[in-house]
Chain A
Amino acid sequence: MAATMKRILSVLFIYTSTTLNLNIYAEVVDDFKEELFIKPLPSGHVYFHFQFTTTWEADFENPKSFEHYRLFPKSLGHVLTTYKVQELHLSQTQGLWRHDKWGYPVSSAPPGAELWVWFQPSIKSLDDTWSELVNAVSGHFCTSLNFLDSKSTAAPRWSFRPHGVASDGYSSFSKFVRYGALPREIVCTENLTPWKKLLPCNTKVGFGTLFKAIKLYDANYHSLGLDVRPVCRDSDCKRTSIELSQSLSVVFDPSVKNNEHQDWSLKKILGDVLSSRCPLASSSKIFVDTTSNIPKSIFTLSPDPDSVETITRGGEKRQYAVYDVGLQTAGGRVLNLGAKYDNPVQHNDIIPPPIYAQRYITGYGLEQGGVTCLIYNNLDTNLTVIYMETLPWFTRFYFKSLTIVNQNKQIHPYKVHYIPGKDRSRSYHLELVFRLRANSVTKISYKFERAFLKWTEYPPDANHGFYINSAVISTVLPTASNYTSTPQSSSSIETSFQDKSENFFLRIHTETLLVSLPTPDFSMPYNVICLACTVVAIAFGSIHNLTTRRFVKLDPSKKRGLLAKIKAMFIKQKNTKSDETSEKETDKEDEKEKDE
């Protein structure tokens, strides 16, 4: 009887627990896709872009949806809920993206680290939350983002609008956004490891097995990206999901060591072949851009692709070779995707993209300087751009020296947003909206003054210089020439194949600048102390003597020996006192005489 009761109870227990579990699992709906986009560039480089997209049907309005996690990383979910983050965009980059030779990346990132965050409207004290958030993110990803304090943070008004779903009223308030960048941050394996850990399959199976730090950090450009934003759940867009997009962009140069032939393969470039597919991914694909093969075949891919897609985007025809990793690695096979080129690289016929920029420091000397940014517009139409600059407080910007010139004609910006900086507390923030003429070069230049820092504010390598953040240029292109970014709706690369839009949002980051400030010789504090002490020690005695000397009558006939002189020094005191008293008496007598 007891045994059967026990059995019934245990069965009931198991039944209820499984149904409860099923319920729990039924509530967490998320989807994970892993994609690799390979684009051979005309300059002989090859661009690899790993894209990991997790879409999670959780809602910021519903806090209960943040209680259970499946594919979405729990640590990141905690960060989002604790700091009331609506959108978070972090990028860590080594190297500079060469727009004039490589076209446009899928997502643009400046050298160093960049973090921009949109907070939820229900947030209370935003600045405190921002400083707590940067500390949390810096610990999470092993970067020094905690240096993003009020001195380096800005609230851009037009340049960094929400990338995900947002209401009009919310997005027009720039008080919910914070932007900061650290140009000097270095990316290395310590940053790759926590980033990799957020992937559902980590480095055990799937694309994660291709992440060999020794190859990835030997590249011409390496960028780790993390973007969290709300996206529409379906075409009605009545409800939103949270999309986590992790991207790793690397650019390699196989032609350098290969006698100018651009032959590449997964084994040669990344160090390993693909032997498995992440089972948690709903789709695991490789896309190779074979558009350059269209009039005449320049390279041949091996193995043959599973399918070839020809699409038209923004009036430009593109061709992609698609590989399904599951099919290619089924049955124990390995995929060593590669391409062989017939001819060496031609370096002289690279067509630059529609818009690109170049920025450099002008002037010489350690008192003043200038910055010039040249923006090249190769389109046949005029284009409106938003130009954003954040200057540190020690390069004091002269707003009246700001000039925008195009073919020797001054251009007046449509809108200007300028917040002057304050020494040691706020940086200079400038946003300009102006128009670029067709087929021309626009030159923005301004002057600044170099501040003389206090001697404790210099870093240990003071003569290296100080960094100025890269400028951000945002615009909407009418053509998709060289354009590889994904459309607004999703970060997955496959969705860009069905992109029927005619306007393409583009963001470009320019170079970071290194500026030398007037630096003293750091042996000077020691020299100054020595000199000051010496002067005081030597001069003090004589000056004191001069100012407090009393002249006493001496009888020259009475010559005294040394001993007598020393005695006289001590006896002098007594004599002066008696003299004083006698003088006082005589004074009093004089006064009495006067009174009388």
Chain B
Amino acid sequence: MGLLTDPKQRQKIILAITKYNQLLCVLCYVGGFLWFLALAYQPLNASTYFSENALLPGLVDYQFYADSDVISYNDQLTAEMKKSDKKVPKDWIFRKFQDLGLDTYYHNFSLNYPFGMPKDKSIPGQNIYAILRAKRAASTEAVVMSVPLRLPSVTSDEQTSGGIAVMLALAKHFRKQTYWAKDILFVLTEYDEIGMQAWLDGYHQTRSEYIHSENLPATSGSIQAAINLEIPSEKFHSYNLKLEGLNGQLPNLDLSNLLVRICGKEQAKVTLNKRSDAPNLDEFEGFQHSLITMLHMMWNQASGTPTGNHGLFHRYHIEALTLQGVKETRTRRSFGVENTARLVEGVFRSLNNLLERFHQSFFFYILPSTRRYVSIGLYMPPFGVMIAASLIKISF
């Protein structure tokens, strides 16, 4: 450690840095930047793995065979939605949940939109939520399945009514099972994220500045995880995973791995930001593809806005993500609501196994592809080198 003790050596280093200051700064910055981009290259990042062994994804055999149920719910709901273009058939959905024997409730809220509206006027909204009480448990924990309610008049790739059919069919199936350790909350929110924030405010008794939410008529225990579904009622070709949340917060990597693994078991194509994995990851084209996927994810995080309803859960220490069904123009193998129902059943079976909250895997990561990840330990050093440029600049 001569550096600490030898003044002559120290002097030499200081001289060197002051002499080549400009060059060093540029080198550090550019080098850090290129190193960061190089992290998307397959040999430089790591393959995903399950840290939470309790998840046991896909271990149990699927028991959801009622494809006819979900297809019939889907058809009925499509027919109901055709009746009115401006309204979501909330009463129909409410009655369906109630007939299944679940505790179903309406939740009212109002929004004081700050732009372009007088201060005393507010927009009313209404969420629907149903609680499936776990048979042998004491309602101490819960998992959430949510779907944003969208008007029938939206474009077909923004439609979410398939998700509602999946919820109804799964509620019917789940109610017969005795192995649930956590309550299952089915939440349907109006106005997308606003309704979701209102519901979360009511559940946790927090306050939002512009959303006024009334007390929830019934609650369950502490929520462990949430899956948001944006599945259209027509057939689609791939599942898009949306992870980015409010202020760039991400769910636990295990939850994303769980969905990727279960989609793999269903032989469904999974995409991140609507980009699937490149087949040749260790070649230059694969690297380019992964790099752009990684940059898309960082771009979404940098904007700070959540990419779906799931983004609002992260603040409450609830891991959540969105599963979106995406139609593609190229004809591929298509999936429908029955595949989604099987998939979601598998996810919930895994979530049911959890004894503890998600804590094992990473909370800070960026994904160049669905099966590779760059953890904070890998992307902090290039960032540190970039910051070192400014440190060198200001200290000498």
Using CB atoms and an 8 Å cutoff, list the residues of chain A in contact with chain B.
43-44, 94-96, 98, 100-101, 111-112, 183, 217-220, 253, 255-257, 260, 345, 347-348, 358, 360-366, 370, 372, 374, 445, 461-465, 467, 511-516, 519, 521, 538-539, 541-542, 545-546, 549
Contact assessment for A363 and B204 in the assembled complex, using a CB-CB cutoff below 8 Å: yes
Contact assessment for A347 and B357 in the assembled complex, using a CB-CB cutoff below 8 Å: no
Contact assessment for A253 and B135 in the assembled complex, using a CB-CB cutoff below 8 Å: yes
Known: A95-B136, A514-B141. A360 touches B356 (CB 8 A): no
Contact assessment for B136 and A370 in the assembled complex, using a CB-CB cutoff below 8 Å: no
Can you list, as one digit per residue, whether each of B203-236 has a CB less than 8 Å from chain A (1) or not (0)?
Answer: 1111000000001001101100000000000000
For A347, the chain B residues whose CB sits under 8 A away are 98-99, 101
The size of the chain B interface, using a CB distance under 8 A, is 34
A-B contact pairs, 12 of them (CB 8 A): A95-B137, A183-B138, A218-B135, A360-B221, A362-B205, A364-B204, A364-B317, A445-B205, A514-B140, A514-B221, A514-B222, A542-B1
Let me know if B355 is at the binding interface, CB within 8 A.
Answer: yes
Contact assessment for B4 and A542 in the assembled complex, using a CB-CB cutoff below 8 Å: yes
Let me know if B5 is at the binding interface, CB within 8 A.
Answer: yes
Contact assessment for B5 and A542 in the assembled complex, using a CB-CB cutoff below 8 Å: yes
Contact assessment for B136 and A516 in the assembled complex, using a CB-CB cutoff below 8 Å: no
For B138, give its contact among A253, A511, A549 (CB under 8 Å). Answer: A511
For A217, the chain B residues whose CB sits under 8 A away are 136
Can you list, as one digit per residue, whether each of B169-183 has a CB less than 8 Å from chain A (1) or not (0)?
Answer: 000000110100000
Residue of B nearest to A470 (CB): B138
Q: How far is the CB of A248 from chain B (nearest CB, A)?
A: 16
User: Given A95-B136, A111-B138, A549-B5, 12 more contacts at CB 8 Å?
Assistant: A43-B101, A94-B136, A96-B139, A345-B101, A347-B98, A364-B316, A374-B215, A511-B138, A514-B221, A541-B1, A542-B1, A546-B5
Q: Rank and list the top 9 A-B pairs by shortest CB-CB distance, nearest first.
A: A362-B205, A111-B138, A463-B356, A542-B1, A96-B138, A364-B316, A514-B140, A360-B219, A463-B359
Which residues of B, 114-158, contact A by the 8 Å Cβ criterion?
Answer: 133, 135-141
For A462, the chain B residues whose CB sits under 8 A away are 356
Residue of A nearest to B178 (CB): A218
Contact assessment for A220 and B1 in the assembled complex, using a CB-CB cutoff below 8 Å: no
For A101, the chain B residues whose CB sits under 8 A away are 103
For B316, the chain A residues whose CB sits under 8 A away are 364
Contact assessment for B222 and A516 in the assembled complex, using a CB-CB cutoff below 8 Å: yes
Q: Which of B138, B219, B316, B317 gathers most chain A CB within 10 Å?
A: B138
Total A-B pairs in contact (CB under 8 Å)?
103
Known: A98-B133, A347-B99. A511 touches B5 (CB 8 A): no
For B205, give its contact among A218, A363, A463, A516 (CB under 8 Å). Answer: A363
Residue of B nearest to A112 (CB): B138
Let me know if B83 is at the binding interface, CB within 8 A.
Answer: no
Q: How far is the CB of B362 from chain A (nearest CB, A)?
A: 12
Q: How far is the CB of A185 from chain B (nearest CB, A)?
A: 11
Let me know if B393 is at the binding interface, CB within 8 A.
Answer: no
Contact assessment for B222 and A361 in the assembled complex, using a CB-CB cutoff below 8 Å: yes
Known: A363-B204, A364-B316. A465 touches B4 (CB 8 A): no
Q: How far is the CB of A541 from chain B (nearest CB, A)?
A: 6
For A372, give its contact among B205, B222, B356, B359 (CB under 8 Å). Answer: B205
Q: How far is the CB of A189 from chain B (nearest CB, A)?
A: 14
For B86, the chain A residues whose CB sits under 8 A away are none
Q: How far is the CB of B248 from chain A (nearest CB, A)?
A: 18
For B355, the chain A residues whose CB sits under 8 A away are 461, 464
Q: How far is the CA of A372 from the CA of B359 in the complex (A)?
A: 27
Contact assessment for A256 and B140 in the assembled complex, using a CB-CB cutoff below 8 Å: no
For B5, the chain A residues whose CB sits under 8 A away are 542, 545-546, 549
Known: A94-B136, A461-B356, A514-B140. A44 touches B101 (CB 8 A): yes
Contact assessment for A255 and B101 in the assembled complex, using a CB-CB cutoff below 8 Å: yes
Known: A463-B356, A511-B139, A512-B140. A366 touches B219 (CB 8 A): no
Q: How far is the CA of A345 from the CA of B99 in the complex (A)?
A: 9
Residue of A nearest to B356 (CB): A463
Q: How far is the CA of A376 from the CA of B356 in the complex (A)?
A: 33
Let me know if B10 is at the binding interface, CB within 8 A.
Answer: no
Q: How far is the CA of A511 from the CA of B183 in the complex (A)?
A: 13
For A255, the chain B residues whose CB sits under 8 A away are 101
Contact assessment for B99 and A512 in the assembled complex, using a CB-CB cutoff below 8 Å: no
Residue of B nearest to A220 (CB): B135
For A512, the chain B residues whose CB sits under 8 A away are 138, 140
Let me know if B315 is at the binding interface, CB within 8 A.
Answer: yes
Q: How far is the CB of A338 from chain B (nearest CB, A)?
A: 21
For A538, the chain B residues whose CB sits under 8 A away are 1
For B357, the chain A residues whose CB sits under 8 A away are 463-465, 516
Contact assessment for B139 and A363 in the assembled complex, using a CB-CB cutoff below 8 Å: no
For B222, the chain A residues whose CB sits under 8 A away are 361, 465, 513-516
For B218, the chain A residues whose CB sits under 8 A away are 100, 358
Q: How far is the CA of A43 from the CA of B100 in the complex (A)?
A: 11
Q: How far is the CA of A377 from the CA of B115 in the complex (A)?
A: 41
Contact assessment for A364 and B138 in the assembled complex, using a CB-CB cutoff below 8 Å: no
Q: How far is the CA of A253 from the CA of B133 in the complex (A)?
A: 12
Residue of B nearest to A45 (CB): B101
Known: A256-B101, A363-B205. A513 touches B221 (CB 8 A): yes
For B141, the chain A residues whose CB sits under 8 A away are 514
Q: How far is the CA of A95 from the CA of B221 in the complex (A)?
A: 13
Q: How far is the CA of A440 from the CA of B98 in the complex (A)?
A: 25
Contact assessment for A256 and B176 in the assembled complex, using a CB-CB cutoff below 8 Å: yes
Residue of B nearest to A545 (CB): B5
Q: How far is the CA of A511 from the CA of B140 in the complex (A)?
A: 8
Q: How far is the CA of A538 from the CA of B206 in the complex (A)?
A: 49
Residue of A nearest to B200 (CB): A364
Residue of B nearest to A97 (CB): B138
Q: How far is the CB of A38 from chain B (nearest CB, A)?
A: 20
Q: How far is the CA of A365 from the CA of B317 in the complex (A)?
A: 7
Q: How far is the CB of A375 from chain B (nearest CB, A)?
A: 13
Q: How far is the CB of A405 from chain B (nearest CB, A)?
A: 11
For B359, the chain A residues whose CB sits under 8 A away are 463, 519, 521
For B215, the chain A residues whose CB sits under 8 A away are 374
Can you list, as one digit per residue, whether each of B292-321 has a CB less than 8 Å from chain A (1) or not (0)?
Answer: 000000000000000000000001110000
For B317, give its contact among A98, A260, A372, A516 (CB under 8 Å). Answer: A516
